[in-house]
């Protein structure tokens, strides 16, 4: 079984063409292949599958075997894989995900995808849509973790997110606070957690604790969530540069959320 090892700003994936259904137990395969030092190693496994409603379908599994609804960095890798392998040789295409059908635009040079723009859809702030226990919205509310109080804004961009603005991103204890919020009883399906530092009205630095993965070098949906949360609470404008550990994303929030960034092929391999 052949695969591509890919990454979007350091958020790395194993991508497999599963249109023939050769992968029968994807959760188990994800756990096996994503183990760093003992296998290929990755944040997640992406499967390209047939779709009846879009050009292709994306399924994505975290390193712990859980299936995610959507992944911003992952979908950029998937469309680069599909374009360069002739699966969907189009510069405008659609991808079916568990979070709905996403429209995507590619910038290409000599048959190689250089940049990808994704319509990530409209964020949802109602607790029931995240999902999050309680009623109404959770915007600028207080949450106590390990004896410390944090101001949180929660939303869904196809998957659940909890955004916190902090003063110093470099010294913030992401590894301690992130998992506590991920597994907090407020979130019945757990949550991704974003820690953002403002650099101006149109620029932030972001660290993300991803559900099922831990801290990653980048998170596309996390960047979208932070930009949307920042605009809703009056901290950010509608065109944001998000600096992540692995590089930068451009997020535009104009009704829908639009994410623009790169995707890279690292190498090809064969699973024996």
Distance of alpha carbon 115 from alpha carbon 261, whole angstroms = 6
DSSP 185: T
* C-alpha to C-alpha distance for 238 and 201, rounded to whole angstroms: 9
Say whether 117 sits in a helix, a strand or coil: strand
Rounded-to-integer distance, Cα 266 and Cα 113, Å: 14
* Residues β-bridged to residue 243: 205, 248
Secondary structure of residue 44 in the 3-state scheme: strand
Q: Which of 34, 71, 138, 224 is catalytic?
A: 71
CB 162 within 8 A of CB 177: no
Q: Which of 77, 213, 219, 224 is flagged as catalytic?
A: 219
Residue whose token pair is 């695969």: 3
Q: Verify whether residue 82 is a known catalytic residue.
A: no
| 70 in Cβ contact with 98 (< 8 Å) | yes
213 belongs to the catalytic site: no
- C-alpha to C-alpha distance for 172 and 162, rounded to whole angstroms: 16
Size of the chain in residues: 272
| Positions marked active-site | 71, 219
């Amino acid at each position: 079984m052949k695969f591509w090892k890919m990454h979007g700003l350091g958020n790395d994936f194993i991508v497999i063409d599963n249109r023939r259904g050769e992968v029968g137990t994807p959760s188990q395969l994800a756990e096996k292949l994503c183990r760093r030092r003992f296998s290929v190693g990755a944040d997640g496994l992406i499967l390209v599958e047939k779709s009846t409603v879009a050009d292709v379908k994306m399924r994505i599994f975290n390193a712990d075997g859980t299936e995610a609804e959507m992944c911003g960095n992952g979908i950029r890798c998937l469309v680069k894989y599909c374009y360069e392998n002739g699966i969907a040789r189009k510069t405008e295409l659609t991808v079916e995900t568990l979070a709905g059908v996403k429209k995507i635009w590619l910038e290409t040079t000599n048959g190689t995808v250089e940049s990808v723009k994704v319509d990530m859809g409209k964020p949802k702030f109602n607790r029931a849509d995240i999902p999050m226990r309680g009623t109404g919205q959770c915007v600028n509310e207080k949450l106590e973790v390990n004896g410390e109080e944090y101001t949180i804004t929660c939303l869904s961009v196809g998957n659940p997110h909890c955004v916190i603005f902090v003063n110093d991103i470099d010294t913030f204890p992401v590894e301690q606070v992130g998992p506590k919020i991920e597994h907090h009883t407020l979130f019945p399906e757990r949550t991704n957690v974003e820690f953002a530092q403002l650099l101006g009205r149109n620029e932030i630095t972001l660290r993300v604790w991803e559900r099922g993965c831990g801290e990653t070098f980048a998170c596309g949906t996390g960047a979208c969530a932070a930009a949307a949360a920042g605009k809703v609470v009056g901290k950010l404008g509608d065109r944001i540069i998000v600096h992540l550990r692995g590089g930068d994303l451009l997020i535009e929030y104009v009704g829908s959320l639009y994410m623009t960034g790169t995707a890279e092929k690292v190498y090809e391999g064969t699973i024996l």
